Amino acid sequence: MSENKRKIEVPVMADVFAKGQKPEYLLWVGSAGAFDDRYKKVTRAFVKILEHLKISYAVLGVEESSSGDIARRAGNEMLFQMQAMMNIEILNGYEVKKIITCDPHAFNTLKNEYTDYDGNYEIIHHTQFLRQLITEGKLKIESGIFKDKTLTYHDPCYLGRGNNEYDAPRDVLNAIPSKKVEMKRNKSNALCCGAGGGQMFKEAEKGDKEVFIERIEEALATNAEVVVTACPYCMVMMTDGLKYKNKEEEIKNYDIAELIEQTLDL
Amino acid sequence: MLNTILFILLWVAAIAFFSWSVKKIRRNIKLGKDIEIKDNRKKRWGLVAKVAVGQSKMFGLPISGILHLFVYAGFILVNIEMLEVMIDGVAGTHRALADVFGFLYPIAISSFEFFALLVIIGCIVFLIRRNILRVNRFWKPEMKWWPRLDANIILITEVVLMTSIFFMNASDYILQTRGTEHYKEVGSFFFSSFFVPMLQNLPTETLLVIERVCWWLHIIGIMLFLNYIPYSKHFHVFLSFVNVFYSKLDPAGKLENMPSITKEVKSMLSGEEPPMEEEGEEVSFGASDVKQLTWKLLMDSYTCTECGRCSKVCPANITGKKLSPRKLIMDVRDRLELTGKNIDKHGKDFGDDKSLFNYITAEELWACTTCNACTESCPVNIDHVSLILELRRYIVMEQAASPGELNAIFNNIENNGAPWQFSQDDRMLWADELYIKEK
């Protein structure tokens, strides 16, 4: 098997649309996916999967702007609605129908909240998309690189409790040959990573402990070797937790997209 | 005859006072912002069946869930017996239904006794958990003397009410065997028969007193209890069904829209003049006091039974922050009660220049991650997150008093479309030098 590398030119909506093409999916990168160093890797991993499976997609690129999730949750409704309406204008301009995103916060906001301002799309979280590909047989995982590893999955609040999606990420993990272990608090009882509602961007209020430390301790108690997440904020918090516990060498923190990227050896 | 009159008078008084109390609560709830919740009636009734009647969310904590089921189911079933009590009280009869049901009667009474026993077991274990084991969630800072006493009053009252049934039935049975006038033979009842040896050697007169005292204690106890409930967290026995009916049906992640702002934002984006406020229309962004909250959020506060499941799962509370979702709901109720009392005293336009912010601090509100663990855990579908959001909206949009770090985020989002200070033009840099292995 030859192993040449091909450079990916990520299709940008403005260009694609100008050529009269309409990609099937819009990939909503999100602010964290575009700017956070750690989560950029997840965006890149997911794009590689899309390319590998020859999915028809495009991104908004510089036309994308903050979904407004944080603004709304921090009480700045004015700013949220401005963001929402500007984004919707662009999305509707490109006649977008289906949106995939790796960010549960964008997923929630676009899916449930943009509908109040004529933003009606089918929103798919990347874990749901990956599961669908696996179910359809388009995505086959044969690699056993995680065979001897124990994985534990941390539920992002806005995917889990926020939108009742507990199974898609677990189904994807179950398709990866590996050992799985649940944390004590999981699914609808899962403990938040501590980042939502604008918390990630400010000092925590006075207390005995940081939320992410409480959560990483629970993850460590499972003796898992990989802490799996599916959210940019959870990623930041869990990584911080591992650093705080001096465990970042032994225990890895991956997004589900990265696990797939690795099993496919992209 | 005298007894009958007394009985009827007491009931009339009890029900009149209860209605008066409930009307007050209804008035207070209606002080809230008017919203219409009329959609999806089928789904709502389904929720009532599952969450309220079926107690589905109670079993998130299995021990309390089962014990609560004892008390809940037991109390409802035991009170079927009230039907006979009412007939006897009004008609001056004694065990009027015994003739109707014949041999089934002792079986029915014995099963009521079984449920009474369940209630007693449940309440005693609850008392032990609260006062001796001191289960953490009942000893958080917001559980001051009154919430603790309130819970104990309820539990002890239920134990007394139920115990009186056993003594009443046991003495009744002994009186039957002695052929006492008025105490017709209807047979023995299974659970109270264990109390018979304790009472057997007492003279008939004493037994008559015990039987009558227990009968009246049961009745008057229930009347008093009924009238205590509106002044207690125990009001959940009525409101939980209503509150669950009016649950938020949207996914928990969706936050309530503010149409008033939509108008403004639309005009700003299109460069038109913002629409003039209509005469008399008082637009406030968010809420600083109970009248600016929706009636549903006010109903939430009267439905709360202070179980503390919300705070038990709250990430902020778990890690020692001041935020306790239960406290916020209790604060709303306290504030609303005071607002109601002020209206009673000084008329409906009275303002006391206080607000919810005299009860709830910004520190509590900003500690919330909007993770919805509280709403998920609440057995009666209270929406803590919406309350927190309304108060945050007020702080941000009316007081412009958001924490500095969040202001910086707002500025970044406004100026460069991301919470970080990166230029929007750099939004594609992540895609640079991206390679895939060709296979």
Domains of chain B: 2-6+61-245 (no CATH), 31-38+285-401 (1.10.1060)
Q: Which of B367, B402, B434 is nearest residue A10 as measured by Cβ atoms? A: B434
Residues of chain B positioned with their CB less than 8 A from the CB of A196: 369-371
Distance from the Cα of B297 to chain A's closest Cα (Å) equals: 17
- Contacts with B, A 36-55, CB within 8 Å: 36, 40, 43-44, 47-48, 51-52
What stretches of B178-258 show up as alpha helix (H) in DSSP?
A: 196-199, 204-228, 236-245
8 Å CB contact between B419 and A201? yes
Nearest residue on chain A to B269, judged by CA atoms? A82
The predicted structure's pLDDT at residue A211:
97
pLDDT category, B296, cuts 50, 70, 90? very high
Closest CA to B81 of B48, B119, B126: B119
Residue B276: pLDDT over 70: no
The predicted structure's pLDDT at residue B272:
74
pLDDT category, B280, cuts 50, 70, 90? low
Report pLDDT digits (tens) over B29-69.
999 999 999 999 999 999 999 999 999 999 999 999 999 99
Question: A98 is written with which tokens?
Answer: 């289906």
**Spans of chain A, pLDDT less than 70:** 1-3
Question: B109 is written with which tokens?
Answer: 């009474």
Determine whether domain A142-264 maps to CATH 3.30.70: no
Q: How far apart are CA B87 and CA B85, in angstroms?
A: 5
Report pLDDT digits (tens) over B131-181.
999 999 999 999 999 999 999 999 999 999 999 999 999 999 999 999 888
Report phi then psi at A180, rounded to 5: -120, 145
Q: How far apart are CA B60 and CA B305, in angstroms?
A: 16
Distance from the Cα of B40 to chain A's closest Cα (Å) equals: 17
Residues of chain B positioned with their CB less than 8 A from the CB of A265: 437
Q: Which of A47, A75, A194 is nearest residue B392 as measured by Cβ atoms? A: A75
Contact assignment for A83 to B395 by CB distance below 8 Å: no
Residue B85: pLDDT over 90: no
Report phi then psi at A226, rounded to 5: -130, 125
Provide ipTM, 2 decimals: 0.95
The predicted structure's pLDDT at residue B185:
86
Q: How far apart are CA A192 and CA A157, in angstroms?
A: 6
| Fold of the domain built from segment(s) A13-131 | Rossmann fold (3.40.50)
pLDDT category, B311, cuts 50, 70, 90? very high
8 Å CB contact between B119 and B162? yes
Average pLDDT, whole number, for chain B? 93
Distance from the Cα of A248 to chain B's closest Cα (Å) equals: 23
Q: B250-271 b/e with 16+ CB inside 10 Å = b?
A: ebbbbbbbbeebbebbbeeeee
Report pLDDT digits (tens) over B208-259.
999 999 999 988 999 999 999 999 999 999 999 999 999 999 999 999 999 9
What's the pTM value of the predicted model, to 2 decimals? 0.95
pLDDT category, B278, cuts 50, 70, 90? low
Q: Which residues, including other chains, have CB under 8 Å from residue B278's CB and lie 6 or more apart?
A: none
Q: How far apart are CA B24 and CA B340, in angstroms?
A: 8
Contact assignment for A74 to B410 by CB distance below 8 Å: yes
Residue B46 carries which side chain, given as an amino acid letter? G
pLDDT category, B114, cuts 50, 70, 90? very high
Report phi then psi at A99, rounded to 5: -125, 130
CA angle B157, B61, A234 (to 5 degrees): 140
CB pairs under 8 A between A and B: 245
Q: Determine contact: A204 vs chain B, CB below 8 A.
A: yes
The predicted structure's pLDDT at residue B279:
55
Residues forming beta bridges with residue A226, ordered by sequence position:
A151, A252
What stretches of B229-294 show up as alpha helix (H) in DSSP?
A: 236-245, 259-270
Chain B interface, mutation test: which of A6, A10, A31, A77, most B Cβ atoms within 10 Å? Answer: A77
Question: B186 is written with which tokens?
Answer: 């209807």
Distance from the Cα of A78 to chain B's closest Cα (Å) equals: 6
Q: Which residues, including other chains, have CB under 8 Å from residue B146's CB and lie 6 or more apart?
A: none
Report pLDDT digits (tens) over B183-216.
888 888 999 999 999 999 999 999 999 999 999 9
Question: B10 is written with which tokens?
Answer: 């007491």
Contact assignment for B371 to A31 by CB distance below 8 Å: no
Chain B interface, mutation test: which of A78, A80, A105, A237, most B Cβ atoms within 10 Å? Answer: A78
CA angle A241, A170, A224 (to 5 degrees): 40
Residues forming beta bridges with residue A25, ordered by sequence position:
A57, A98
Chain B interface, mutation test: which of A40, A55, A66, A107, most B Cβ atoms within 10 Å? Answer: A66
Distance from the Cα of B332 to chain A's closest Cα (Å) equals: 19
The predicted structure's pLDDT at residue B102:
86
CA angle B267, B269, B271 (to 5 degrees): 65
8 Å CB contact between B354 and B409? no
Q: Which residue ranges does chain A devote to CATH 3.40.50.1860?
A: 13-131
Place of tokens 């900003």: B366
Residue B269: pLDDT over 70: yes
Report pLDDT digits (tens) over B383-429.
999 999 999 999 999 999 999 999 999 999 999 999 999 999 999 99
Q: How far apart are CA A215 and CA A28, in angstroms?
A: 28
CA dihedral over B169, B170, B173, B178, signed as positive or negative: negative
Q: Determine contact: A195 vs chain B, CB below 8 A.
A: yes
The predicted structure's pLDDT at residue B277:
59
